[in-house]
Amino acid sequence: MKDIARRAGVSESAVSFALNGRPGVSETTRARVHRVAEQLGWRPSTAARALSGEGAATVGFVLARPADTLGVDSFFLQLVSGIQEVLAERHLGLLFQVARDVADECGVYRRWWAEHRVDGVLVADPRATDPRPDLLDELGLPAVVIGGAPDERHPGLSTVWADDAGAMAAVVDELTALGHRRIVHIAGLPDLAHTQRRIRTLRAEARRRGLSEVESVTTDYSDVAAAAVTRRVLHGPTPPTALVYDNDVMAVAGVAAAAELGFGVPADLSVVAWEDSALCRIVKPWLSALSRDSVKFGVTAARELLALLDGGPARAVRVPVPRLIERDSTGPARSG
């Protein structure tokens, strides 16, 4: 990198920014650095370590979720697409594995580290009480936590995070503006940090507005669980007038369950999905949903991991707040 900087007439930090796709240099400088790097036959450090037998040229990604919920989860499919897009640029492989639970996931990290299988890892689904950051610090395995809290600091771990609290507050703003006072949040796994952030925000917004009939119910993210919870809350003496689901699959299942019970959407019940996807635009009525660029989320996480592997500092990077797209499934609250 010193040779590239000298020949291109720029600083070494400018070379690092240009080669890692990070802001801080002009497009003209970025192009010049890439041209000089190509002339000198430069290769990313991970690939170079692999050629010398010191590295794996592979990034690891473990998900500790029920396997049967992943195939229909649009967020993770798009996230992995973004990750793979970046890794392909550097000719790096992605080693993906599903774990039974966090303890099993930690065992995978220990095994990968002992066998030199990966150069770094991407960590998803941060928990409220999470042993993984300390373990990865102990192993010295570079990592990026996807969806972590920005105030959590570990020497070798970067964080890419979204403002779940801000997104939930925006949903409550919209629903209360439509007159909804009885809102149920049908959430995902209860031990996930982002689930707890959403629940806390909903409670805080309810207190601020003086709403007493607002609650969250956790599930396993599956359509079966979502349908069961939807039936239960709608069978109550004062059913909610709005439901917020933590993903698109649950929202679609919830609409079907509500229809079985005779609830019209949005005449009797407004529905919001946390993740926008093609599913939200196939079901009738089209679902209002929180939209974010999940592919870009994966791209950002992968770039931050490559920056760590190239010797950069750990840092927290915020992605844009998910934006609420209003469609046909939300409307004014029914009277009574």
Average pLDDT over residues 206-232: 95
Q: What is the pLDDT of residues 56-77, one digit of tens each?
A: 789 999 999 877 766 667 788 8
Q: What is the pLDDT of residues 267-281, one digit of tens each?
A: 999 999 999 999 999
Looking at residue 45, what is its pLDDT? 56
Average pLDDT over residues 240-254: 96
* Helix locations, 41-95, DSSP H: 45-51, 74-89
Q: What is the pLDDT of residues 159-214, one digit of tens each?
A: 999 999 999 999 999 999 999 999 999 999 999 999 999 999 999 999 999 999 99
| Percent of all residues in the chain with a pLDDT value above 70, rounded to a whole number | 94
User: Distances from the Cα of 320 to the Cαs of 3, 264, 294, in angstroms?
Assistant: 36, 33, 10
Residues 6+ apart with CB under 8 A from 163: 318, 321
Q: Are 289 and 322 in contact (CB under 8 A)?
A: no
DSSP label at residue 188: S
Q: What is the pLDDT of residues 103-133, one digit of tens each?
A: 999 999 999 998 889 999 999 999 988 999 9
Task: Say yes or no to pLDDT of 51 above 60.
Answer: no
| CA dist., res. 79 & res. 81, Å (int) | 5
Q: What is the pTM of this model?
A: 0.80
Residues 6+ apart with CB under 8 A from 167: 198, 274, 290, 321, 322, 324
Residue 238 is encoded by which pair of tokens?
A: 């004062």
Q: What is the mean pLDDT of the chain?
A: 90
Residue 65 is encoded by which pair of tokens?
A: 């979720």
What domains, with CATH codes, occur in the chain?
A: 1-42 (1.10.260.40), 50-162+294-318 (3.40.50.2300), 164-291 (3.40.50.2300)
